Chain A
Amino acid sequence: MLFTSVIFLVIFLPIYFLGIQITPKNKQNAFLLAMSLLFYAWGPLQFLLLLLGVSLLNYYLVQRMDQSQQPKKILRIFIAVNLAILLYFKYTNFFIDNFNAALFSDPADYLPALDLILPLGISFFTFQSITYGVDVYRKVNAPANQFNHYLLYILFFPQLIAGPIVQYHQISHQITQRGYSSGQLLEGFYRFALGVIKKVFIANVMAEWIVEIEIWEGNQFSIHSINAWLIALAYTVEIYFDFSAYSDMAIGLGKMAGFDIPENFDRPYLSKTITEFWRRWHMTLGDFMKNYLYIPLGGNRKGKVKMYLFLMLVFLLSGFWHGASWNFVLWGVLHGVFLILDRLFLMKWSLKVPLLFQLLTFFIVVNGWVLFQNEDMTLMTQRFQDMYHWDGWEGFFQHQNATYYFAMFGLGLIWIFLGRFEGLKSWYSLQFDSTFRFATYGKLLVIGSCFIVAFSYLVAGDVNPFIYFNF
């Protein structure tokens, strides 16, 4: 179920919103858990059983680990089980494909691919589970003392499918002790509505635009250079607004129930270096990679050469986590290379001419998204050739709807640029307290009105994909 689907907005959200208000405090967790199970049950039911089974096993293993004299051994089993499930569902066919390509020249000899469907949110579920086990091992937090508390932490629907990746210690106290207030409900709705608006007015439009440009080009393999750049830039805007909108919605839905889900984005396209970009883009994944992979590998404690090696390895794996395809690996490598260059000299230079480096970083990120967008390596190479081969001004996208797409693209860029102004950050959250403030209600009214228009777009059947659901 998508947060921007008609079923979610028309049935699930009203029930959730009302349920939070009328459910007694001691039954709130049960209500949230029931809603989360219903949310996940909207996909194939066997995946819910898989998730419940793995969650039960994880809970048991971590309880045992906490009491064990040899916790490391159990931690290894715990991590191995979780990674094995992820590897099986996400990477089996990738390995089969590459095995076939490496060993056999005749397709008749190929090993058949398995008929596997990726359970929704498995990548996020696995990482979140790992943070729980590792944190208990590191004594960052005690294990959950009730299975239903653990289950709520893992399955809480706002963050289950596409993050943010929440570490147990960040919300463990909220599971047992959290307040409820009307202000929180309104604040949560405000943030949720903001996400819907970003998704509908910008991300969805960019997705539609990319398709229209490809149709304009007659779905040709090679396209006009300006169109190739337009696709790259539209995708850059789309992926940010798509994913950050999802995070806004998740944070808002959590807020309605009294949870503070961590932020996932902080104006990433204004970064001066790729290192900074990763502190601002998908922040919870960045945290995970740093705390659960880079530092355990050795971080910067084992000399510079190894540090560079670890950085490259972490980003190579980060790329691979995004998808079982070589383009994601290349994307990870590109970012890894620039992280190393940052540490060598780029970071120092960026302090001298920050604006230039903001543009340079944006340029690198845009090129990175071309790698990310095209799983077909031949098509990806072609897209780069198209981008860097000037075809003149004739023949680029001049569709009847171009004004609309360019306007929404411009709106997206302005939104990104306005991030420079710290004061405007206040639009991301509202504080409702006992004093009636016109400004607060004015903002709610503006966002609420836009939400209604966005709702009409969704009901009308606009393009409505979610990129990060694929990962």
Chain B
Amino acid sequence: MQKHLRYSVLFLTLALWTPLLLTWLKPIEFIPLNGAFPPVSYEKHPNLWNAGYQKNIDKYLEENVYGKSVLTKLRNQIQFKLFGKINAKDIYAFDGIFYRFYSPVFNEEGNFIGKQKVDLIADSLAQLQQQIGANIPILHVFGPEKSHYFTKELPSRFKTKSDSTNLKQFKKVFQQKGFHVLDFDAYFRSKKFDYPIFGKAGIHWTNYASAHAFDSIIAYLNQLKQTSFDRIEIEKGASTPLDPLDQDLGYLCNFIQIPSDPALFAYRLKPKRNTGKKVKALIIADSYFHTCAWTPLKPMLFDEKSNFEYYFNTRYSGVNQGVKTDVHKIAQEMPDYDCIIYLHGVINLENYGFRSISKLIKATAPVKN
């Protein structure tokens, strides 16, 4: 046998055995993949006859083969670099801008809940405001929508010009009823900012936009209640590192290197006027509040007794682990709050209040003798 053939076969044999040996020895631990994956369902009653044992071994190996996370990132990077392909489920990219898939395909007209329902919700909110009293104003905050912000960049099929949308109808009715409405979707589109409102690879508004918005909310509240709650300033060019939340969709795509977004720059938040008074708020919001809840912004603007009721389902106080929302506890705490903030992304407006309104009306209703 010729040497070159013998060595080639030897090399190939070793190469074929390498994945198995590495899976067995696991010489280095790799960073796991980002994002949520469906749990692997193993056969509960495996045996050889139903091939349950065999399937379970298959699944175990598929999940635990050595270097799966690195190989997955390698594949994702190759396909993205060469063809712009994204393998993460529910993430859509167009012209280098990433969206949660439902965001651009979300049909605002199709999701319109109707004028009648908007009126009913507005009536309920008016009742709630009346019950808790005008000194605890309810602020209705609409977050900006990424597909509105990048509307020029999106294909025409993702755009709507209709007036029959939840955003337009809620805003119209709330304003007619004299509610406190802060529409950041319109606000951020009406002005130019140094820093992007959305990162190209981010799902929510950027931390910068969020900081700007919450500072504006405090300003509004100060004016409304004649208070002097602490506000912040945004200092450009400081050394704060980029927040991963500004590029969270990029991270979820599991690339080796997420695409750069040169528009994002480092900045620093600093107190504008330190009176030591901070807003004690009940925040009922979707994940648009994440950019505040888990960042230095929250302790700078909100009192530590402020509570974030995520989808009115889970309470986050500070950075604690969530506990189940308790409507009766909220009712007891209500007199201590300076305000209630309802914060919704445009997509979530069809579920305005996250079923909190009627529960709060019931829990805060005056006791009848």
Contact = CB atoms under 8 A, between A and B. Distances in A.
Contacts of A407: 82-83
A5 B15 CA distance: 17
B13 interface: yes
A442 interface: no
Given A18-B17, A182-B1, A400 B71 contact: no
Given A6-B61, A183-B5, A400 B51 contact: no
A404 B4 contact: no
Given A186-B5, A186-B8, A459-B72, A42 B54 contact: yes
B13 A21 contact: yes
Given A183-B5, A185-B9, A401-B85, A459 B17 contact: no
A8 B225 CA distance: 70
Contact of A43 (B15, B17, B54, B94): B54
A182 B8 contact: yes
A7 B51 CA distance: 14
Report whether over half of chain B's contact residues are helix, strand or loop; otherwise say mixed: helix
Contacts of A5: 58
B84 A403 contact: yes
A459 B71 contact: yes
Contact of A460 (B4, B16, B61, B68): B68
Given A453-B78, A456-B71, A14 B5 contact: no
Interface string B1-33: 110111011001101110110010000000000
Interface in A398-434: 398, 400-401, 403-404, 407, 432, 434
A10 B66 CA distance: 10
Contacts of B19: 9-10, 455
A461 interface: yes
A400 B93 contact: yes
Nearest to B75: A460
A10 B65 CA distance: 8
B58 A404 contact: no
Contacts of B50: 44
Contacts of B1: 181-182
A331 interface: no
B62 interface: yes
Contacts of A455: 19, 71
A434 B17 CA distance: 26
A436 interface: yes
B311 interface: no
Interface in A237-287: none
Nearest to B64: A6
A78 interface: no
Contacts of A459: 62, 65, 67-68, 71-72
Interface string A458-469: 011110000000
B193 interface: no
A129 to B, nearest CB: 23
Nearest to A8: B58
Tell me if A's interface is mostly helix, strand, loop or mixed: helix
Contacts of B68: 459-460
Interface residues on B, range: 35 or more
Contacts of B75: 453, 456-457, 460, 462
B2 A434 contact: yes
A43 B51 CA distance: 5
Contact of A404 (B17, B79, B155): B79
Q: How many A residues touch the partner, as a band?
A: 35 or more
A189 interface: yes
B74 A456 contact: yes
Interface string A1-29: 00001110111011001100100000000
A67 interface: no
B51 A6 contact: no
B57 interface: yes
A52 to B, nearest CB: 15
B72 A14 contact: no
Contacts of B12: 17, 185-186, 189
A404 B84 contact: yes
Contacts of A41: 48, 54
Contact of B72 (A434, A436, A460): A460
A70 interface: no
Nearest to A451: B15
A17 B51 contact: no
A280 to B, nearest CB: 31
A301 to B, nearest CB: 48
A400 B20 contact: no
Contacts of A434: 2, 5
Nearest to A43: B51
Contacts of A9: 19
Interface string A37-70: 0000111111000000000000000000000000
B142 interface: no
Contacts of B155: 398
Nearest to A403: B83
B51 A404 contact: no
A395 B67 CA distance: 40
B85 A6 contact: no
Nearest to B20: A10
A186 B8 CA distance: 8
Nearest to B2: A434
A342 B154 CA distance: 51
Given A10-B19, A14-B16, A404-B83, A46 B49 contact: yes
B86 interface: yes
B92 interface: yes
A401 B1 CA distance: 49
Contacts of A461: 62, 72
A240 to B, nearest CB: 22
Contacts of B74: 453, 456
Contacts of B72: 456, 459-461
Contacts of B93: 400
A17 B58 contact: no
A372 B49 CA distance: 32
Nearest to A13: B16
Given A6-B61, A44-B51, A400 B85 contact: yes
B62 to A, nearest CB: 5
A400 B49 contact: no
Interface in B282-297: none
A448 B9 CA distance: 13
Contacts of A444: 8
Contacts of A400: 84-86, 92-94
B13 A432 contact: no
Interface in B34-62: 48-51, 54, 57-58, 61-62
Nearest to B94: A400
Given A45-B51, A459-B71, A459-B72, A7 B85 contact: no
18 contacts: A7-B61, A14-B16, A14-B20, A18-B17, A42-B51, A42-B54, A44-B49, A45-B51, A182-B8, A400-B85, A401-B83, A401-B86, A404-B84, A432-B5, A456-B71, A459-B68, A460-B72, A460-B87
Given A18-B17, A42-B51, A459-B65, 17 more contacts: A5-B58, A7-B58, A7-B61, A14-B16, A181-B1, A181-B5, A182-B8, A186-B5, A400-B84, A400-B93, A403-B83, A403-B85, A404-B79, A436-B2, A444-B8, A460-B76, A461-B72
Interface of A: 5-7, 9-11, 13-14, 17-18, 21, 41-46, 181-183, 185-186, 189, 395, 398, 400-401, 403-404, 407, 432, 434, 436, 441, 444, 448, 453, 455-457, 459-462
- Nearest 6 interchain pairs by C-beta: A404-B83, A456-B71, A460-B72, A404-B85, A182-B5, A14-B16
